[in-house]
A and B are shown apart, each in its own frame.
Chain A
């Protein structure tokens, strides 16, 4: 059984090929102005890497904000549904999945079958999501990927109010004017974001194991802040940014099996 999952996120598009329950290949690209075209590219790349062609695929499932634009898709699944499937597949004890992408943060409660039971999504402002870190990195004149490691060097915690990206930025500027050090400001950014994610997760109830996926899971600065705020160690699977695509591919496998019966 070979299936394919496409996750059309707000910033990046991820595609993953699943062959008999193992990951055969994956590819990603910037969504840009033409997400459908970018998605097609990732599908081609993933198929090439796996040495497959489109007719070899039993079922394609799309997910993500732009899932209606997915090329070749046989079906769709919500991002929350995909998170639950992927989370439990990767870490069988997972019961809470936190997914933080560029523009959205979500938390999903699921059961042992990877079925979502309940979910919450951040409010409309992106202050709890990846775009917030990007904006703050710009304000600090540093590369996004340097910000996490730098924040770990902070000796104490400052605080900013992350109710909104724009106000967050002006808070960062105030810290700059107070001549706080860069590591401390970087940590303040992650702490503020983790605070928002933490209260969102608490609305749902924290059921261990807690798994963190999405592009932001690759940022050590954010992970350290989130662990501190939640008072536990979140589990991070390999390639956390492909969780949505994996969940979609797993759903595709289920649906293909269902259709074959």
Chain B
């Protein structure tokens, strides 16, 4: 870190080492407590949680096993490449024998520190990530040798500039209109350029074989993920907060081990289906989450409220870039030539995304279709539209989504919140009223 002192800080304030250390100790202590509390609540919500969840609880400790594993790899000379957005082509990172890890901050406490750099109106994910960097809180962000940032929203665009004070950042320029040939051409060029950048930085050539291996690893993960999602279509066998944790842990875990463990979890759950061993009453309202990403650990605030409420609901699906969107879509390769694989990666990352940064003459049609399809296949009875204040794109797309859901007679509730724990009482009132509404609809 000593080289940072010589770089001109264009955005971040100079903070005394002593203050950084003090803040880091306090916030890290609070965060370890939140992680432990969250897991304790999840255990309470399901008195006989699947055994495999123990593994994911372990990985959920952001200051534990996974941090040490990555550190050990780093000592052996491996490069760690962090990313701030789901558009980052992680297969290229793995194929260059580097480790991809997502570094968006889910810590509420650090958003207050971010307020020293940007106004409070800015999306809290951005403020909190800045704050985490200021006090060197995030193990994965600190371990990253370089970062990939994708310029999807205003927050992400300026966040890259701010973090460039202290990190090597590669910005990827994503076109905002998907359905045009020039957009895909442009994005393919971005992907190819990223390949070269990663190769130069790591000193490792991405070969046909290494890329094929990375894509195959992703395919297996997607298969395991889809198996888990399939299990959530029927009567509930897993709490939504557990499934969401499994899902999100993929973005910092070892990909192959994650896949094995998820398969093991599915084996356990399939037995429970056979024994009709439901995690809650099958007439509990089935809820889907959509909107702003929810990052572990603090943002488990909302899923916990839904699944602990009186009356309660069960989360069976989501449409979030912190959740199902991570693994939902496989990379469609035909020939396994370098060109074909790169094109397939370009298509997968651009076309499959339902991010609200996109528009077309039909608006963000892909997102609407995803939601309608989920509602039908997962038998969703109510949707919570989650918006972190400052997230303009999701806030502005709400009416479109609401109208589409109104048409198929599925209630949706717009729930706005902040990176704060103080509004839990108000959120509880709203969430429980929504569950009451869903229950009343089921009864009649």
Interface size on A, residues (CB 8 A): 16
Docked-complex contact A76 and B310, CB < 8 angstroms? yes
Docked-complex contact B433 and A123, CB < 8 angstroms? no
Interface size on B, residues (CB 8 A): 16
Which interface residue of A65, A78, A115, A120 has the most chain B CB atoms within 10 A? A78
Q: Is A185 located at the chain interface by the 8 A CB criterion?
A: no
The dominant DSSP class at the B interface is helix
In the complex the two chains form, what is the Cα distance from A123 to B389 in whole Å? 10
Contacts of A189 in B (CB 8 A): none
Q: Is A253 located at the chain interface by the 8 A CB criterion?
A: no
Contacts of B423 in A (CB 8 A): 124
Answer whether A78 and B436 are a contact pair too, CB < 8 Å, given A118-B411, A121-B430, A123-B416: yes
Q: Is B13 located at the chain interface by the 8 A CB criterion?
A: no
Docked-complex contact B426 and A115, CB < 8 angstroms? no
State the Cβ distance, A197 to closest chain B Cβ, in Å: 17
In the complex the two chains form, what is the Cα distance from A36 to B416 in whole Å? 30
Docked-complex contact A81 and B416, CB < 8 angstroms? no
Contacts of A81 in B (CB 8 A): 433, 436-437, 440
Cross-interface CB contact of A124 among B414, B426, B429, B440, cutoff 8 Å: B426
Q: Is B432 located at the chain interface by the 8 A CB criterion?
A: yes
Within 8 A of A (CB), among B404-442: 411, 413-414, 416, 423, 425-426, 429-430, 432-433, 436-437, 440
List the A residue with the shortest CB-CB distance to B422. A124
In the complex the two chains form, what is the Cα distance from A119 to B430 in whole Å? 9
Answer whether A115 and B444 are a contact pair too, CB < 8 Å, given A78-B429, A124-B423, A124-B426: yes
Cross-interface CB contact of A116 among B425, B430, B440, cutoff 8 Å: B440
Contacts of B437 in A (CB 8 A): 80-81, 116-119
Cross-interface CB contact of B433 among A78, A115, A124, cutoff 8 Å: A78
Docked-complex contact B433 and A119, CB < 8 angstroms? yes
Which interface residue of A117, A123, A124 has the most chain B CB atoms within 10 A? A124
Q: Is A77 located at the chain interface by the 8 A CB criterion?
A: yes
State the Cβ distance, A64 to closest chain B Cβ, in Å: 9
Contacts of B411 in A (CB 8 A): 117-118
List the B residue with the shortest CB-CB distance to A116. B437
In the complex the two chains form, what is the Cα distance from A12 to B190 in whole Å? 61
Q: Is A79 located at the chain interface by the 8 A CB criterion?
A: yes
List the B residue with the shortest CB-CB distance to A81. B436
Contacts of A116 in B (CB 8 A): 433, 436-437, 440
Docked-complex contact B444 and A79, CB < 8 angstroms? no
In the complex the two chains form, what is the Cα distance from A120 to B440 in whole Å? 18
Contacts of B426 in A (CB 8 A): 121, 124
Contacts of A65 in B (CB 8 A): 425, 429
Contacts of B444 in A (CB 8 A): 115
Within 8 A of B (CB), among A197-235: none
Docked-complex contact A115 and B440, CB < 8 angstroms? yes
Proximity bits, A70-89, B CB within 8 Å = 1, else 0: 00000011111100000000
Contacts of B413 in A (CB 8 A): 119
State the Cβ distance, B431 to closest chain A Cβ, in Å: 10
State the Cβ distance, B417 to closest chain A Cβ, in Å: 9
List the B residue with the shortest CB-CB distance to A64. B429
Docked-complex contact B436 and A79, CB < 8 angstroms? no
Sample of 6 A–B contacts (CB below 8 Å) = A79-B429, A80-B433, A81-B433, A116-B440, A119-B433, A119-B437
Interface residues of A (CB under 8 A from B): 65, 76-81, 115-121, 123-124
Which 5 pairs show the lowest CB-CB distances between chains A and B?
Answer: A78-B433, A80-B433, A78-B436, A81-B436, A115-B440
Beyond A116-B433, A116-B437, A121-B430, 20 additional pairs, beta carbon < 8 A: A65-B429, A76-B310, A77-B436, A78-B433, A79-B433, A80-B436, A80-B437, A81-B433, A81-B440, A115-B440, A115-B444, A116-B440, A117-B411, A118-B411, A119-B433, A119-B437, A120-B414, A121-B429, A124-B423, A124-B426
